[in-house]
Amino acid sequence: MIKTGSWVQIKKVVLQPDERAVNLPEATKNVPLLLWVKGYLLKDANIGDETEIRTLTGRIETGTLIAVNPFYTHSFGTFVPEILKIDDIVKSTLYEGNQ
């Protein structure tokens, strides 16, 4: 059980596929428009429950509870060896004959 007042993230459907704008590419018009937002949980709930939150600007949003204390995991990615080759190309061009 996640307690009232916890910092959480919810997800909701804003528009179902049949409510979406016209002239969308195929891959987009067949899926719903989704929304993610964070805020304070207004009532005790479990992950997966429909719930209400108060956002940082004081707005109330409802949606499916998906995370508590959500955090970032984006990074510098895995190593890309091509970058070393770029270094080699520019340095050998600039300093050719000097090294």
Partner 1 sequence: MDNSYESVMLRKNAIMRQSVGINYDKYEADYINFDYEAMLKEGDFTLEQIREIQINSGVGNTPLKECKNITQLVRKVSKPGFGARIFIKDEALNDSGSFKARRASISCYQAKKMGFKGVIAATSGNYGAAVASQAAKYGLKCIIVQECYDSKGIGQPEIIEKARACEAYGAEVVQLSVGPELFYKFLLLLEETGYFNASLYTPYGIMGIESLGQELVEDCLKLTGQVPNMVVCTNAGGGNLTGTARGIKKTTEKKVEIVGASVNLKGLHMADDHDFNLKSFTTGHTGFGLPFIMNPDRSDVPRSAARPLRYIDRYVTVTQGEVFFMTETLAILEGIERGPAGNTSLAAAFALAKEMEKDKIIIVQESEYTSAGKHHQAQLSFAKENGISLYFGDPQEEIPGKSIVFPKSVDMIKVVDIDLEIIKKKYIQNQIFKTKKISENDVDFLVAETNSNKDFVLNEIKKYKVTLEGEHE
Name residue, tokens 């509870």: 65
- State which of positions 59-98 bind partner 1 (CB under 8 A): 59, 72, 74-80, 82-83, 85-87, 89-91, 93-94, 96
Query: In whole angstroms, how far apart are CA 91 and each of 10, 46, 52, 80, 96?
Result: 49, 56, 57, 18, 8
Burial class (CB in 10 A: 0-12, 13-18, 19+), 52: middle
Which residue, 46 or 82, has its beta carbon nearer to partner 1? 82
- State which of positions 8-47 bind partner 1 (CB under 8 A): 11, 14-15, 19-21, 24-25, 27-28, 31-39
CB contact at 8 A, 8 and 70 = yes
> Binding residues for partner 1, per CB under 8 A?
11, 14-15, 19-21, 24-25, 27-28, 31-39, 55-59, 72, 74-80, 82-83, 85-87, 89-91, 93-94, 96
